Structure 1
Amino acid sequence: MNKKILSLLAGLLVAPVSAAAFEVIQGEILAGWVLPDGNRVAAIRLTLEPGWKTYWRAPGDLGIPPDFNWTKSENLADVAIEWPAPTVFREKNLTTIGYKNQVILPLRIDVVEKDVPVTVAASVSLGVCSDICVPASLDLNAVIDTDTTRPDPEIAAALAQRPYSAQEAQVDKATCNLGLKDGSFELVAAITLPDTGGQEFVVIEPGQSDLWVSETDTSRDGGVLRARADIAHVKDETVALDRSQIRITVLGSNQAVDIRGCTSD
């Protein structure tokens, strides 16, 4: 599996990092509002130059996954990113998943002390791509001391762009099964849900850091959407699935669906 990943990464054209590379993407922290329990909703706004894109949390085989470090923040107990539904970029021999132009990433912030300002310090490592792909980093800092309880319209709009939950999308069943094909492990998911529109694309995240899952082959048969992917252990050990940790995202032209956990047949 390691050789396979190295082979895939070898096909990614990465330019040398230069000062100009960081000018294609800008970031800022939006203050947001205070929740009834004293915690906060804030956001990171990323703005890209025309023709450039950046990646979703699961970027595809050749994408660069974003990484966020919050350790220098103050009065921040925990933070969760609420990812808006991304775009599937289909190019010749390459499929990646992400955002272009601008994206607002809402943050749900749990604070240590309810009535004390929050210092948000985010070190963000991410990839930006046009004709070439460049690793970039942003250091974003802001002191959030707002006491407003009124939702910010831009952040609220980004929250509304999140994928539907399984219940909201009327998912009747989602199964995941492990098998062998041509000597390699494969993961097969079957999801019973209404058509989400267009050329549907399924992303499977194993939820286990020791497992790697490839891009899926996706097909629909009536009310059942099927997705098959290669799966391997990063240390070439036996693959064991924890179905409760698997996250399946269905990306269609009309809607996206976020499914947490799956079952056996």
Structure 2
Amino acid sequence: MKRIALTILLALLPALGAAQSYDNVVEARLLPGWRLPNGDHMTALHIKLAPGWKTYWRTPGDAGIPPQFDWRGAKNMQAIGVYWPAPQVFWQSGMRSVGYKGDVILPLKVRLKNSGRDARLGGVIDIGICKEVCLPHRIRVSADLSAQQKKPDAVIAAAMADVPFGAKDAGVTHVACQITPRADGMGLRVAIDMPRGTGREETVIEADDPNLWVADPETGWKSGQLVAETRVTHMSGGAFALDRSGLRITILGGKMPVDIRGCTG
């Protein structure tokens, strides 16, 4: 399975990459952001990629490497949420990946232990970078988050505006998921009632169980519905249950990006 092969690749490549630095390919920093009226702090991770290079979205597809965040270097932080602007779909050698190129802004909302005090956000982030080959890359970032900074950052606000629309805002009226048994897991068919799009739509389907792997779907318009068909398997290769309400479907390549949570039978 491609995902198992990717796991092995992630385990082996840091040693291979140690002989060559890719720091000139990736620049990363945390933007200082601003303190929100509710006491949270809005900041962002800014990744700048050299021309021709790309990095990956939260669900990168069969050919990508998922980003991982470790914020143990933070102070006065209770929790942190990552907002994902709509990514691009890339095709290379017949394989699909989902991610970003150029300047990437990932907004971060930080919930503080003490909203009246300054905070510090710092940590280690493992990402995948890709040109002719795809490699894991580790970046370290840190920034002071001042409680006195109240002015919003237009760059972060613009990235927030690129986050996919919710189902209701995009005109989605119904989402049905049909599950069928297969020898290698389950077949999954998602049928979405929504306004007709561009005909170039791609979908990404995520399960709330991290042990489930969802293959890249085949997506197209059928009888007025956007239909995505794929298969789901468990990492162990054993039997499993699939919670339809825990599925997350993202539509890319249409008139607007759409984020759908859950579906019915």
Cα distance in 1 for residues equivalent to 2:78 and 2:110: 7
Task: Quote the Cα distance in structure 2 between the aligned partners of 1:245 and 1:150.
Answer: 37
Write out per-residue CA displacement over residues 109-159 of structure 1, whole angstroms, 9 at most, x where no aligned residue. 111001111110121001100011121000101111142333210000000
Q: Quick check: 1:206–1:245 contact (8 Å CA) kept in 2? A: yes
Which region of structure 1 is more displaced relative to structure 2, 201-210 or 244-253?
244-253
1:74 and 1:55 map into 2 onto residues whose CA distance is 27
* SS across alignment from 2:96: strand
The CA distance in 1 between the partners of 2:184 and 2:107, in whole Å, is: 42
Q: For residue 189 of structure 1, what is the amino acid of its counterpart?
A: V
Q: So what's the TM-score if we normalise by structure 1?
A: 0.92
How far apart, CA to CA, are the structure 2 residues paired with 1:4 and 1:84? 26
Unaligned runs of 5+ in 2: none
- Counting only pairs closer than 5 Å after superposition, residues 197-212 of structure 1 correspond to structure 2 as 197-212=198-213
Unaligned runs of 5+ in 1: none
CA distance in 2, matches of 1:145, 1:48: 28
CA–CA distance in structure 2, aligned partners of residues 90 and 11 of structure 1: 20
Q: Which piece of structure 1 moves more, 55-64 or 141-150?
A: 141-150
SS of equivalent residue, structure 2 residue 150: coil
CA shift at 1:91, angstroms? Answer: 2.5
| 1:168 counterpart residue number | 169
Would the aligned equivalents of 2:28 and 2:48 in 1 still touch at CA under 8 Å?
Answer: yes
Name the stretch that deviates more: 195-204 or 100-109: 195-204
Per-residue displacement from partner, 1:82-101 (whole Å, max 9, x unpaired)?
10000001223111100001
Residues 37 and 10 from structure 1, CA distance in 2 versus in 1: closer, same or farther, beyond 3 angstroms? Answer: closer
CA spacing shift, 1:9–1:112, aligned 2, 3 Å = closer
Alignment root-mean-square deviation, CA? 2.0
**Greater than 3 Å deviation, 4+ residue runs:** 3-12, 181-184
User: Are the aligned partners of 2:53 and 2:102 in contact in 1 as well (CA < 8 Å)?
Assistant: yes
Query: Is 2:185–2:239's contact at 8 Å kept on the other side of the alignment?
Result: no
User: Counterparts of 1:181 and 1:219 in 2: how far apart (Å)?
Assistant: 22
Flag the 1:257–1:185 CA change in 2: closer, same or farther, 3 A: same
Paired letter, 2:93 = K
1:174 offset after TM fit, Å? 1.1
Q: What CA distance in whole angstroms lies between the structure 2 residues aligned with 1:259 and 1:23?
A: 37
After TM superposition, the structure 1 stretch with the greater mean CA deviation from structure 2, 66-75 or 79-88, is 66-75
What one-letter code is carried by the residue in structure 2 that aligns with 1:157?
A
- Does the aligned pair in 2 maintain the 1:198–1:254 contact within 8 Å? no
Partner of 2:150: 149
Separation in 2, partners of 1:133, 1:216: 22
State the distance in 1 between where 2:161 and 2:201 align: 20
- CA distance in 1: counterparts of 2:121 and 2:3, whole angstroms: 34
1:196/1:256 contact within 8 Å kept:
no
Residues 48-94 of structure 1 deviation map (CA, whole Å, 9 limit, x = unaligned) = 00000000000010100000011221111111111000000122311
Q: Which residue of structure 1 lines up, in the alignment, with residue 74 of structure 2?
A: 73
Mapped contact 2:190–2:227 kept (Cα < 8 A): yes
- Structure 1 counterpart of 2:121: 120
Contact 1:31 1:146 in 2 (8 A): no
Tell me which residue corresponds to 2:86: 85
Q: 1:149 to 1:225 in 2, by over 3 A?
A: same
Report the secondary structure of 1:23's partner residue.
coil
Give the drift of 1:180.
2.2
* Residue in structure 2 matched with residue 257 of structure 1 by the alignment: 258
Q: Distance in 1 between matches of 2:177 and 2:254?
A: 24
SS in 2 for 1:20: coil
Residues 167, 238 of structure 1: alpha-carbon distance in 2 compared, 3 angstrom cutoff: same
Q: Do 1:22 and 1:137's aligned partners in 2 also have CA atoms closer than 8 Å?
A: no
Question: Equivalent residue of 1:255, what SS?
Answer: coil
Shift of 1:188: 1.2
Q: How many residues align?
A: 261
- Cα distance between partner residues in 1 of 2:3 and 2:160: 33
Q: Supply the AA of the counterpart residue of 1:42.
A: T
Distance 1:135 1:187, change over 3 A: same
- The percentage of aligned residue pairs carrying the same residue is 36
Shift of 1:254: 2.5
TM-score normalised by structure 2 residue count: 0.92
Q: Which residue of 1 aligns with 2:216?
A: 215
Distance 2:207 2:161 in 1: 25
Partner of residue 29, structure 1 = 30
State the partner residue of 1:228. Answer: 229
